[in-house]
Every structure is written in structure tokens, then in C-alpha cells.
Amino acid sequence: MSLLAILQYPDPRLHTVAKPVQAVDARIQQLIGDMLETMHDAKGIGLAATQVDVHERLIVIDVSEDHNQPLVLINPRITWASEEKQVNEEGCLSVPGIYDGVERSTAIKVEALDENGKLRTIEAEGILAVCIQHEMDHLLGKVFVEYLSPLKRNRIKTKMLKARRDTVRA
């Protein structure tokens, strides 16, 4: 296993639409392990392959308190979403230190392949539903800050670019 570099907003690669995973093979198994290790190391609860510059439809999530219940979603597809929506505070490993409210469905059903290539249906609500929707946005090339006002988005972009410049100089 190895840690992967997480792309930082406003990196244009974060806007790449991911392609379906063709086969759940050794390469994908390795990527799953590396993504889980990267996500846990970064203290995150979800990570999409897009965020590590692999543009395939793969997500890893672990919302458990002990970080020992990983969920792998390959080629996920939302088959149902509740009409009821709620605003939740979200953050993102690609936009470190930034949190803001995003409105999402409170419950969803998702079909996806698991880490063994077996088709599963997952019913999710609460933080898991929010996390799945957030990570699936990444697969569509969308970062959560795009739900915010243009003013907030520009402030975040400026802050992230400044932080990157300061890091390069240090």
C-alpha cells in the first residue's frame, strides 16, 4: 500500500468526468487499498478516484467511528433519492480547511459493485448518504464548493492558490 497525492482545488483535473471501471482486477484492488490508506491518513471519511488523479468511477468511504468499516463503490449509480433535502456542513480532502453548507437528499439508494466485483444495493441516510452524494459529485467532475455562491467560491479559490504559493516558497 502507498499514500497517493490528493489533488487540491482549483486543480482542473478535479473537473474530469470519470469513466466506468472496466474490470475489478488486481490494479483496481491495489487502487482501493491505496485510496483507503490515503483517506485514513488524511483523516477523511470519503475519497473518489478523481481526487487522486485516477479518472475511473471508484469511491471509498468509511464513516464509522473506529474507521474500520470501509465501503467500496465501483461504478455507483443512484437509483432513488428522497425528495426531502437537508443542508449539511461539508468539507473535502481536496479543499482542506474549508467547510460550508450544501443541500442534499436525506436518503438515497445506490447500486454499485463492491471490491470483489459483486453488485450491491445500498440504502443510506444521514452522514453516509451525504458522503456518497459528495463523492459521486467528484466522479462527475464537481467539487462541493461549486454549490456555493460565486463570491464564496472565488474567495476559496484565492485562499487555496495563496496557500499553494506559500507552501512552494517555504
The residues that are catalytic are 135
Q: Is 92 annotated as a binding residue?
A: yes
**Cα dihedral 18, 74, 45, 80 sign:** positive
- β strands within 4-140, DSSP E: 46-48, 58-61, 71-81, 85-92, 95-105, 107-113, 119-125
Q: Is 67 annotated as a binding residue?
A: no
87: amino acid identity, one letter: V
Q: Is 15 annotated as a binding residue?
A: no
Give Cα 41 distance to the centre of its chain.
15
Annotated binding site for Fe cation: 92, 134, 138
Annotated binding site: 92, 134, 138
